Amino acid sequence: MAGLARLGLTVCRADTGERLAAMVQAWDGKGNQVVPSGKAVRAPIDGSGTWTLPPGRYRVKVSHGLDFLPWEGEVDLSGDAEVPVALSPWHDLPGHGWRTGEAHNHINFPVTPAQTAAFLAATGMDCISLCQGWSAPRQTALGHDGPRLRAWLEGHSTPAAHLFFGAEFPKTRFGHVCWWRFPDISDPFGCYDSYHDSEYFRQAGISAEAIRHPATTIPYRGEAPIQKVERWKGQGGVTMVPHPTSWWMDNQAASLICTNIAVDLCFGLLAGGVYDVLVVMGYDPEQIFYQNLWFHLLNEGFSLPGCAETDGNLGGHHAIGSLRTYVQTGKREFDRAAFLDGLCAGRSFMTSGPILDATANGGAPPGSALRNDGGEACIRVQAWSHPDADEHLSWLVLYRNGRLAELVDLEDRKPRTVEHEFRVRLEPGVREWFVVKAYGRQRPRTREDADVMAYAERCERETDTFYTGLGQVAFTNPFFFVPDGWRGPEALTPPLSGTVADADGKPLAEAVVTVLRQGEPVARAVTGPDGRYHFPAIPLSAEFEIAAPGHARESRSLYLHYPPLVRHFEDIYSGRWALRNPRLRPGQVPWPVFRFRELREMLRELA
């Protein structure tokens, strides 16, 4: 090509000589990142590839995720050049049973499934559950035929990169849901469009109109999100709660925040079995308020596993693979069932770069429930920095029941790898849990800043967002130590009594109240002369169908119609708590906002 030079690259493993898919980047003599002809700034190659660039000297970087040390070199492109690259292994993650994937992304047409698979292979990502728009154009039948779309996506999988049909919906004021595994649905695009709370989001964070009660002023008109989620979980779905404290303002004069907050997370946990994993690393590597929410829920007795997300695509600031969940599957080859089982069991760590292989009391992985007999917890840690040459480990941190228990300062040594044992005497008779965190060369300013819960509490009193600038961090899921006989929270199934009345308040006798779960009747009561009914126990996610002679049939649910719960949800998603405290910044939601214990008591004793 006239005026351009060819850069040919061949990439292999330094230890075996096998060809290796890799990611390529280049910078010109002025330090500006360049875009080669016909390619993106970061371009994957499948073992070999050719770039075309204007003649000149370039710095070239070739990398493969976190498994290999990157290669960097100066290349003189005064004419065509062929450059062989050998990447040395950094840590054999697959060989040790660690597999990684992503479930919150938006890879849209015209990006193809083949391009997605190439990107995954080049960055060392094993799998992806593709979210909207599934690389399919809306104008074709393919995008609206669930089984066909699933087969088309999965048919582009390779031995190194596995594509699955996932989704992000429902997306409502009550929170969003992403799916690691999503069942076939007949019309994915049509379903997604109808399950987006568009009327609310057209005003929230934008309109300066004073809206005192958005629950009634901008009513939610769809099916309760929890019922959708339960229905799809019943078909084998695996759920993830994304960006649980995310919110912002597009107009600083708006009367409502724009919310991605996981408003119904606590309700779903009390209902039991609704959400499988919670995002605790997303957007930025160190998300203090995601972690703070998680730590508090763990202290309430839940064993909800954490995971990472990018909410991104194949490029840009939130590129897939920049934040990862590594799951211990015990297998060298990728096995989706083993991956999802390990994910939901918490046998994993989250990372933006460091590798954190930690075990407890003789080899138990994160997520394990070990016996607390009043003895010692011994957590053995092996950590590696991000493979980039300028990275090292600075701190290892141990959290005990959410509070900073021990900090190992490695700054003087600046090691690339380290081994350490944390030993803690357990308090007998109680449930305890531990999380290990490793920081790269960027770390918190002070020891106090590493205390997640204390830091979040301080942000209520003074504005601070330092944590958003930290680049390299990894942390495990919890190791649990439980005493004999300990049991976690069980799903609430409270009694419910009420009265069926007409529009004038007159009680209706012989009205039939049917309790439905996932559309199927599970209980029925008939009102007496006073219009009263009673159920000794109901699931929190239940719907109620009310039929009375001479009256139209009505449907209700606790989620959408129980006034105390409606007000509870509204208090969170409206963001009045944020507007009252100008020290809080977007993404910061203090734990008291969720009023967990108040919610639990409200749902135990329905009025």
Residue 276, SS3 per DSSP: coil
pLDDT of residue 592: 98
Which pLDDT band, with edges at 50, 70 and 90, does 551 fall under? very high
pLDDT of residue 3: 80
Is the bond preceding residue 587 a cis peptide, omega within 30 degrees?
no
Q: Which of 247-251, 388-392, 488-492, 603-607 bottoms out in mean pLDDT, i.e. has the lowest?
A: 603-607
Mean pLDDT score across all residues of the chain: 94
Element (H or E) spanning 163, and its range? strand 162-165
What CATH architecture applies to the domain 5-87? Sandwich (2.60)
Q: How many whole angstroms separate alpha carbon 37 and alpha carbon 408?
A: 47
Closest by CA position to 503, among listed 435, 432, 551, 567: 551
Q: For 276-304, what is each residue's pLDDT tens digit?
A: 999 999 999 999 999 999 999 999 999 99
Q: How many whole angstroms separate alpha carbon 457 and alpha carbon 543?
A: 38
Contact 285, 472 (CB under 8 A): yes
Q: How many alpha carbons fall within 13 Å on the CB side of residue 394?
A: 16
Residue 1 has pLDDT above 60, yes or no: no
Q: How far apart are the first and last CA of the chain?
A: 77
Q: For 378-419, what is each residue's pLDDT tens digit?
A: 999 999 999 999 999 999 999 999 999 999 999 999 999 999
Is the bond preceding residue 170 a cis peptide, omega within 30 degrees?
yes
pLDDT > 90: percent of the chain: 86
pLDDT of residue 191: 81
Contact 439, 392 (CB under 8 A): no
Q: What is the mean pLDDT of residues 576-588?
A: 96
Residue 316 has pLDDT above 60, yes or no: yes
From residue 487, alpha-carbon distances to 202, 271, 400 in Å are 44, 16, 19
Q: What is the mean pLDDT of residues 208-215?
A: 92
Contact 62, 22 (CB under 8 A): yes
Q: For 238-271, what is each residue's pLDDT tens digit?
A: 999 999 999 999 999 999 999 999 999 999 999 9
Which pLDDT band, with edges at 50, 70 and 90, does 81 fall under? very high
Task: Report the 3 state secondary structure along 6-67.
Answer: EEEEEEEECCCCCECEEEEEEECCCCCECCCCCCCCCEEEECEEEEEECCEEEEEEEECCCC
Residue 85, SS3 per DSSP: strand
Phi and psi dihedrals of 509, rounded to 5?
A: -85, 155
Q: For 229-244, what is each residue's pLDDT tens digit?
A: 999 999 999 999 999 9
Beta strands in 33-161 (DSSP E): 43-46, 48-53, 56-63, 71-77, 81-87, 98-102, 127-130
**For 353-483, which CATH superfamily applies?**
Immunoglobulins (2.60.40.10)
pLDDT of residue 39: 65
Q: For 437-452, what is each residue's pLDDT tens digit?
A: 999 999 999 999 999 9
Q: For 110-145, what is each residue's pLDDT tens digit?
A: 999 999 999 999 999 999 999 988 999 889 898 899
pLDDT of residue 461: 96
Q: For 143-179, what is each residue's pLDDT tens digit?
A: 899 999 999 999 999 999 999 999 998 999 999 999 9
Residue 323 has pLDDT above 60, yes or no: yes
pLDDT of residue 317: 79
Q: How many whole angstroms separate alpha carbon 374 and alpha carbon 363?
A: 19
- Token digits of residue 539: 């699931």
pLDDT of residue 607: 63
Contact 473, 438 (CB under 8 A): yes
Q: What is the mean pLDDT of residues 579-590?
A: 96
Is the bond preceding residue 183 a cis peptide, omega within 30 degrees?
no
pLDDT of residue 51: 86
Q: Where in the chain is the domain with CATH 2.60.40.10?
A: 5-87, 353-483
